[in-house]
Structure 1
Amino acid sequence: MDWRKLFGCQAGHELDYSPPEKSDKSLTVQPPLEVLEASTAEWRNSLVGQFLGAAPNFISLQRTIDKLWNQTSTGARAQVSLEGKNLYIFSFNYDVARDWVLENGPWHILNKPLILRKWEPNMQRLNFDLSRLPLWIHLYNIPLELYSRECLSYIASALGIPLTMDSITASKTRLEYAKVCIEIGAKKDIPETVEVILANGKTSTIFVEVPWFPYRCRKCSTFGHSDKECMNKTNPAPPQIKIWRKKTPLIDNAIHKTENLESLKVALPDSSSSKEIVNSADNNSITEP
């Protein structure tokens, strides 16, 4: 019996059987190289994205992406796929559209910051390490002799780990400032200036502008929340340990005699005879029965 007919599989939905290789401990499958390459090509123009903080509603996210990233003139389109909790895959039909989104960041979708990176094959985990993030920065007052990939790499290395520059900076069609992307840690501060020693020995000052810097917590070295919002308590106070002791008969008897003595002082009139009785009771109260 062909069970596919029971499900009424549409074209392209059916699955094919390929026998696995059996071993003593597990079953192993090895798709042919051409199958792996075809599957990789399907996701090659994709970006991995994660929001800093709570993610927006999925339907609202897709609608916003359609308005921001889809280009009717070129036919470029982005598809949003939910990969996990607050983790998304943005698939593009053209690599130019994907690169345009990367270079024109940072992006805030529905007032929520979104961090992006290119998808690469053989990535075991797609989650971001929020202890380090890529940031776009602007470099001003760059002498023309420093406007090269090598020189910009030296300047960006003073700020963090240099990653890339946008296409306009690479083409040198905008010389007002250079837009470069660097990777920094949550505890690192970006300086406002960088000094560069030129060929003649003189120093040129490069001014640094950070268009957007995410919230960060120095307590747990993580981006995405501030120190005040940190849920990880450092060095919590040790809990107080209370020790309960059982009362001994001697203490109970002394308390009982003290209570009788106070009652006797209140009941007796203030006279010499009563004082003798009270003194006698005081002397007897310290003697163990």
Structure 2
Amino acid sequence: MEFGEGCRAHAPSRLVAWTSNNRISEEELKELQSRFSEVVEISPERLRRARSAWAPTSVMIRSLGRRVPADWVARELRAQGKLSYDVEVFIMAAGFLTVRFRSQEDRDAALENGPWLVAGQLLAMEQWKANFVLGVNTVSRTVVWIRLPCLPLEYWERESILDIAAAAGRPLAVDYCTAQLQKLGYARVKVEINAITLLKLGTFIQREEQRFWQAFVYENLPAFCFSCARIGHLESSCQFAVEGPIG
């Protein structure tokens, strides 16, 4: 008999749905709270001790496309991060991974050094969080390169490029060719974005008495929906209703 099997015959039928896939909605949580009053308390000191083993040096990861093997992720983190050791990888449910480095500096470098692509799949990566419940919380922070095509020459100062890119997300760096003005077809900027919110397709730039539209081109995105401007699914399977402008 599987763990919990003996309880299922007495559980409300609509609760079985979330126990079978480890997900629970806010409505189902409220129903549980109305039916069960018992609470298990864990001592704050024990929690502080347990969290100290994870918080300073760990990240949580999920693929924004197909799932990739955990050992592939570990190899990529070591190779691209130029680490002298193998990171610890802990396989979670629903395709999530927790990765622990040996130092906070290595963890912070991994967060800043994206984009992380493994087997062609873009990874979302965030600092480890306490009380992170799989199926309720998610990992949505990712780093991507964006291009600013046909950017007028007077905007090719680093500060101006970063200001424009800030409309897409948190700018982290410009690439070498952009900084050295070697290729002027487009400026290239590394930005941090939220993978579950609408992507900005561009921004207006004010120039004296007029303004012009500057498009953003995102590199190496997984499936992109042109209906809701989110990544992770195609327009044919979109479940989001969008009203008004999405740019």
Q: What TM-score do the two structures reach when normalised by structure 2?
A: 0.55
Pairing of 1:38-77 with structure 2 (within 5 A): 38-44=49-55, 45-56=57-68, 58=69, 61-62=70-71, 64-70=72-78, 74-77=83-86
SS at match of 2:52: helix
Which residue does 2:145 correspond to in 1?
137
1:254 alignment partner in structure 2: none
Contact 2:59–2:125 (8 Å) recurs in 1: yes
1:31 alignment partner AA: S
Secondary structure of 2:73's counterpart equals helix
- From the superposition, tell whether residues 49 and 76 of structure 1 become closer, same or farther in structure 2 (CA, over 3 Å): same
In the other structure, the counterpart of 1:211 is 219
How big is the shift at 1:116? 1.9
Matches within 5 A, 1:94-133: 94-125=103-134
What SS class does the counterpart of residue 89 from structure 2 fall into? strand
Q: How does 1:1-289 map to 2 (within 5 A)?
A: 25-33=37-45, 35-44=46-55, 45-56=57-68, 58=69, 61-62=70-71, 64-70=72-78, 74-125=83-134, 134-138=142-146, 142-144=155-157, 146=159, 152=162, 154-159=163-168, 162=169, 164-166=170-172, 175-176=179-180, 178-183=189-194, 188-191=199-202, 195=205, 197=207, 208-217=216-225, 223-228=231-236, 230=237
Which range moved further: 211-220 or 94-103?
211-220
Q: Which amino acid aligns with 2:144?
A: W
Q: Displacement, 1:215?
A: 0.9
Give, in whole Å, the separation in 2 of the partners of 1:47 and 1:100. Answer: 11
The structure number with the bigger radius of gyration is 1
* Structure 2 CA distance for aligned equivalents of residues 121 and 94 of structure 1: 18
Contact 1:136 1:181 in 2 (8 A): yes
Code of the residue aligned with 2:58 in structure 1: it is S
User: Cα–Cα, structure 1 residues 43 and 143, in superposed 2: closer, same or farther, change >3 Å?
Assistant: same
Q: From the superposition, tell whether residues 76 and 202 of structure 1 become closer, same or farther in structure 2 (CA, over 3 Å).
A: farther
Query: Structure 1's 46 and 181: CA in aligned 2 closer, same or farther, altered over 3 A?
Result: same
Number of residues of Structure 1 aligned to a counterpart in Structure 2: 189
- Greater shift, 43-52 or 133-142, is seen at 133-142
- Asked if structure 2 preserves the Cα contact closer than 8 Å seen for 1:135 and 1:184, the reply is no
Judge conservation of contact 2:171–2:191 (CA < 8 Å) in 1.
yes
8 Å Cα contact 2:51/2:130 also seen in 1: yes
With a CA cutoff of 8 Å and minimum separation of 6, indicate the structure with the bigger relative contact order.
2
Deviations 1:171-222 (A, max 9, x none): x9x835542223366654512x65255xx88989977442222213356875
SS in 2 for 1:223: coil
Unaligned runs of 5+ in 1: 1-23, 235-289
Task: Tell me the alpha carbon deviations over residues 212-249 of structure 1, each in whole angstroms, 9 at most, x when there is no partner.
Answer: 22213356875323234x287x9xxxxxxxxxxxxxxx
Which residue identity lines up with residue 110 of structure 1 in the other structure? A
Across the aligned residues of Structure 1 and Structure 2, the Cα RMSD in angstroms comes to 4.3
